[in-house]
């Protein structure tokens, strides 16, 4: 899809990090951006950056884990800029450093609510409007390289579980929307210099409110001085125009996926061996 000046976009989690980078990249192309974030002040800071560069944006406070909040955000963006042509379901939180069996129910509800339901709500609210418009449109769902493999060196299983879901949702969307006016991409970055390790500052009151979760904070050192959100935003904008489905940003991580696929192949090899053994025993 060609990105045209005057299009409208809704970018969730755009108050910082990758979401901010995407918002700025789209604004540079003349897109009017709905900057959606659970933290109003952060959304307003991104809007200020967009406007300082000559673009147009509006700050929208929303909790993507609540469908009604996404509906209100969508209505607000459309009231300001017209029908949404680009939807970036980007909001996400970290849930690192704790074994899966020790994660609290509230934290499970939180990470699934934002990372999975946030994408579902954006899809269910915005995509029907895109289809009804009949105009070229595109959806980008932010997963992670962790949505294709679980790194054995870090306790990131809960996060990866949600990002695997985003990959599957995106693959399903692409299958179902083939031949329509709506394209789909899934973004799978690795280390990006963001504040995702500080996600706990945005936990909603209904799940216990903001707090300090030191188990996440080792990620801050790992991602410091890594890829810049602005560069990821440019990569996303180019991928929309190139109609790329898988948007990878760190080619050096390919061997992680290849290692996982080798384990899968080994599982099929074992299945064939067991089946041959069973058939041989039955023939005796």
Give the pLDDT confidence of 33-45 residue by residue, as tens digits.
999 999 999 999 9
**pLDDT of 21 higher than 80:** yes
Query: Which ranges of 29-181 would DSSP assign to H, the alpha helix?
Result: 40-52, 67-81, 105-112, 118-133, 157-177
* pLDDT recorded at residue 93: 95
Closest CA to 13 of 119, 97, 106: 119
159 is catalytic: yes
* pLDDT recorded at residue 47: 98
Q: Which two tokens stand for residue 91?
A: 């909001």
pLDDT band at 71 (very low <50, low <70, confident <90, very high): very high
What is the pTM for the complete model shown? 0.94
Catalytic residue among 117, 159, 164, 211: 159
Instruction: Render pLDDT for 103-156 as a digit per residue (tens, 0 to 9).
Output: 999 999 999 999 999 999 999 999 999 999 999 999 999 999 999 999 988 899
Q: Indicate whether 77 and 170 sit together in one domain.
A: yes
Q: Indicate whether 114 and 41 sit together in one domain.
A: yes
Residues 6 or more apart in contact with residue 194 via CB below 8 angstroms? 16, 17, 18, 223, 229
pLDDT band at 69 (very low <50, low <70, confident <90, very high): very high
Q: Indicate whether 93 and 139 sit together in one domain.
A: yes
State the CB neighbour count (10 A cutoff) for residue 228.
14
Closest CA to 169 of 227, 229, 120, 223: 120
Instruction: Render pLDDT for 222-251 as a digit per residue (tens, 0 to 9).
Output: 788 789 999 999 999 999 999 999 999 999
Give the domain range for residue 188. 8-249
Tell whether 2 is covered by a domain: no
CA–CA distance, 39 with 59 (Å, rounded to integer): 10
Angle at 86 (CA atoms; ends 169, 239), nearest 5 degrees? 75
Which class for 66: exposed (0-12), middle (13-18), buried (19 or more C-beta within 10 A)? middle
Mean model confidence pLDDT for the chain: 95
Q: Indicate whether 258 and 128 sit together in one domain.
A: no
Structural domains of the chain, count: 2
Q: Indicate whether 279 and 220 sit together in one domain.
A: no
Strand partners for 57: 33
Instruction: Render pLDDT for 177-211 as a digit per residue (tens, 0 to 9).
Output: 999 999 999 999 998 988 788 888 888 888 888 87
CA–CA distance, 142 with 247 (Å, rounded to integer): 9
């Amino acid at each position: 899809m060609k990105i045209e000046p005057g299009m409208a976009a809704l970018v969730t989690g755009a108050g910082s990090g990758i979401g901010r980078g995407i918002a700025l990249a789209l604004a540079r192309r003349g897109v009017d951006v709905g900057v959606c974030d659970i933290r109003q002040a952060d959304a307003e800071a991104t809007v200020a950056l967009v406007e300082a560069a000559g673009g147009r944006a509006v700050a929208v406070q929303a909790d993507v884990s609540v469908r009604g909040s996404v509906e209100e955000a969508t209505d607000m963006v459309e009231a300001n800029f017209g029908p949404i042509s680009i939807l970036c379901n980007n909001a996400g939180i970290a849930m690192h450093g704790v074994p899966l069996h020790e994660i609290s129910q509230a934290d499970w509800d939180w990470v699934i609510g934002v990372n999975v339901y946030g994408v579902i709500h954006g899809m269910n609210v915005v995509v029907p409007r895109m289809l009804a418009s009949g105009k070229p449109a595109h959806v980008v769902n932010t997963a992670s390289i962790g949505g294709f493999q679980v790194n054995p060196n870090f306790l990131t299983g809960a996060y990866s579980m949600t990002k695997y879901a985003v990959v599957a949702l995106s693959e399903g969307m692409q299958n179902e929307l083939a031949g329509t006016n709506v394209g789909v991409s899934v973004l799978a970055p690795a280390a990006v210099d963001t504040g995702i390790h500080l996600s706990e500052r945005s936990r909603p009151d209904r799940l216990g409110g903001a707090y300090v979760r030191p188990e996440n904070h080792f990620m801050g050192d790992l991602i410091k001085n890594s890829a810049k959100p602005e560069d990821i935003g440019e990569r996303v904008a180019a991928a929309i125009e190139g109609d790329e489905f898988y948007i990878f940003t760190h080619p050096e991580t390919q061997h992680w996926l290849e290692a996982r696929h080798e384990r899968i192949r080994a599982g099929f090899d074992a299945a064939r061996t067991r089946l041959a053994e069973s058939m041989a025993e039955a023939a005796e």
